Structure formats: structure tokens, C-alpha cells
Structure 1
Amino acid sequence: MNDVDVWLARASRVTQRAAEDSHRALANRLAGERSPASHRARREARRTVACVAMVTLVSFVVSGWIARSMWGDEPLSPAWVAAPSSSSPYVLLVGQ
């Protein structure tokens, strides 16, 4: 019976030492990780960026659809100025 008591005493010391080591390792690991609040803030920032990107894309498509419905499918030709302005170098050199 004496051997069993010695064995149990030694086993309890080993178990306590292993538990302390595992607690220390867990504390070190948790110290290096981010807090749940920072995870939540990062997720909200990503969600906000995704929403802004989607709104930008949808508004681009809708504005193109509105422009086509107002002006039709005909290509728009650029409007060139027929005569140069009075302050252009061409008018100053050539005259009227």
C-alpha cells in the first residue's frame, strides 16, 4: 500500500507541473492573439469597404443605364468649337 501512495503523490506532482506548463503556454498564445473587439472592428471595416465597392458599382451601372435611356444608343459626337476664342494665340498672330 505504501508504494501506491508514493505513486499517487508523484503522479499528482507531474499532473500539476504539466497543468502549470499548459496554462503558461495558453497564456503566451492568447497574449499574441488579437482581442475579439479588434476582430469585430476589422470585420466591420471589411464589410464597409465591400458595401462601398458594391454601391459604387451599382451607381456606375445605373448612371450608364439612365444615360442610355435619355440619349438612346446613338454615339455622342464631340462638340468642337468652330472658331477660336478671341484670346487664343491664333487670333493674336493672324488677326481678324
Structure 2
Amino acid sequence: MAKRLIPLFDRVLVQKIAQKTVSNGGILLPESAGASKLNSAKVIGVGPGKVSKNGNVIPVCVKEGDTVLLPEYGGTSVKLGEDEFHLFHDDDILGILKD
């Protein structure tokens, strides 16, 4: 990536994780099989946080490297070079996925 995008305020830059198309046993999975597929993404960058009415900075809940669960719709698509990323507000992210 030639340029590095640093999110502002409470925005989070993520790159969506591709869903598996082959099972562990080598069977090809059709897209319709993942009806309840997760919208997971890796956090690439985070902003410093939102400024409250009294001037305090409210930090973002996630950090770079986290794997997060995203809503089905929303976010802003950003293309940097050949890679596609998405920007979400911190409060739009549904949760952090742990291994």
C-alpha cells in the first residue's frame, strides 16, 4: 500500500476477511451455504476517538490487529491501490471476535 490512511475521530479502517470457499475436507462451498455468514474484518487503523461536549476524548474500543464483527450494511468503501478497505464509526462495530 503506497499511502497509509489514518482515520480521524472515532472512525475505524478495516479490511474484510474473505469467507472460506472450500471446507476442511476439500468440498467446495456454494455462496448460498453461508446464509448466516459473518461479516468479519481485520482492523487496519483507528482514529484517536470522539471528543465529548466537555472536551474529553472518548477512545475507540478496538485496536489495530483486532478481528471485528461488522453490520451487514454500512461503512464507507475506500480503495487504496489494489486493496479495498472500509471505514466504520466505532459505535457501528458489533463486537470483537476472539480465537
TM-score with structure 2 length normalisation?
A: 0.14
The structure with the greater share of residues assigned to strand is 2
Structure-1-length-normalised TM-score:
0.15
Larger radius of gyration: 1
* Higher fraction of helix: 1
Q: Which has the higher contact order (CA 8 A, sep 6+)?
A: 2
